[in-house]
Amino acid sequence: MNDVTLQPALSPAPAAAEPRRTSQARLIAACSIGNALEMYDFTVYSFFALMIGKLFFPSESAYGSLLLAVATFGIGFVMRPLGGFVIGNYADRHGRKAAMTLTIGLMVVGTLCLAVAPTYATAGLLGPLIILAGRLLQGFSLGGEIGASTAMLMEAGGIRGRGFRVSWQLGSQGIAALCGALTAAVLYGSLSTEALQSWGWRVPFFLGLLIAPVGFYIRSHLDETHTAETHAPSPLGTLFREHGTLVAKGVLTIIGGTVGTYLVIYFMPTYMIRELHLPASLSLLAGCVTGLTSFAASLCSGWLADRLQRRKPLVVASILSTVVALYPAFWLMTHYPSVPLVLSLSALLTASLYLGTTPLLLMMMEMLPIKVRASGLSVIYAIGVTVFGGSCQFVVTWLLARTGNQLSPAFYMMACSAVTLLTVLTLREVRETH
């Protein structure tokens, strides 16, 4: 108990002290829909990465096209820190609701760019440039989205059930991955290769746009949970001046989970096709399985986080179990490449990884005061995901091409998880009591 600090919960600003009662379902849907849309786009792009590489980035080698495709998608992550700085500061200054309305609008424009971009054969460099612009917009918006929406999930319903509410932010990523995988599976199974290359790969992005009106509507009916005082100093300045060390530790704590998510969930279909030589249609099942598993594991971890007196042991157990399972899992996949085995091992890795995500997220948010909470989480998430999530597929693809070792993704993830574990051990829990 000596590394847990209990403190009274900080109340929202007076302006938001007596909000209307917002149903928990509407609150969860409104706060998780933006992040889910981004994860859906990422999943779809991952499943069509080989095809998009050929259409937009022609190269003499298959690895060259794939590297250019994942690098272009990853470059959107470069905008996340800027979005985290700008929109996170805006959310702490003007409120979570205003920031969330802005981010979903930008995200929709970015998705539209991906859906309508002409191929290289049709418009030359214009096509890749439009995809690049769309990814930059999406990266900027999500950089601020995660902090504002997760802060609202945490603050809107009080202390009780906080872990379960926040877990939906992560669980929605799993549902989005599942929807993306199912959409891709249907398209691969029902369309010819010619139809997919001609127009079929665009369909999932257009489907993603249909969620925009729903997102705008339910977010417009939310109640604000925090508005800064009129003459309060810049939240961003306060964050780095008073909580700079915590921000640095926060970035290090999400490295393992970030790399694990983008490797096990989003890169696995490409790995199954290129390295394990499994059929593309069957490899899409990996996205379905890991998406559903991450959803269930996220909600389970949120439920546990609400009931356990301490959260750090659950986080440590999650990291250790993942590290221990990585090498044998990838060894088995490469030596006995069958769809049932790969799906089972992918589900195992996903479950062990996600059991610690919600409690770790809660630990970080509870250590951040409400006046800098959105800025802090936005900056931590944006920097960590930019450096390690955005580069993950590129780094792993490069390692596979450079070393020829099919186990290199496991070694990379183990190294990142070790950094996270060492940092988590230095954190001191702060639990709000009412």
pLDDT in tens, 70-86: 676 667 778 888 888 88
Q: What is the CB neighbour count within 10 angstroms for residue 10?
A: 12
Tell me the longest C-alpha to C-alpha distance in the chain. Answer: 64
For tokens 């490469």, the residue is 334
pLDDT at 432: 61
Architecture of domain 24-432: Up-down Bundle (1.20)
pLDDT at 232: 65
Q: At what angle do helices 49-56 and 62-75 cross, to 10 degrees?
A: 100
Cβ–Cβ < 8 Å for 65, 53: yes
Q: Which residues of the chain have pLDDT under 50?
A: 1, 6, 8-21, 434
How do the residues of the chain divide into helix, strand and coil, expressed in percent and rounded to 5? 80, 0, 20
Give CA angle at 396 (73, 380), nearest 5°.
60
> Rounded to two decimals, what is the model's pTM?
0.80
The number of angstroms, rounded, from the C-alpha of 44 to the middle of its chain's C-alpha atoms is 14
The number of angstroms, rounded, from the C-alpha of 138 to the middle of its chain's C-alpha atoms is 12
pLDDT at 7: 53
pLDDT at 200: 93
pLDDT at 22: 54
Cβ–Cβ < 8 Å for 415, 256: no
Q: How far is CA 143 from CA 1, 46, 376, 383, in A?
A: 35, 20, 11, 9
pLDDT at 269: 79
Read off φ and ψ for residue 5, nearest 5 degrees.
-105, 125
Query: What are the b/e assignments for 393-402, b being 16+ CB within 10 Å?
Result: bbbbbbbbbe
pLDDT at 21: 46
- Phi-psi category of 272—alpha, beta or left, where left has phi over 0 and alpha has psi -120 to 50? alpha
List, for residues 110-155, the tens digit of each pLDDT value: 889 989 999 888 888 898 889 888 888 888 888 888 888 888 888 8
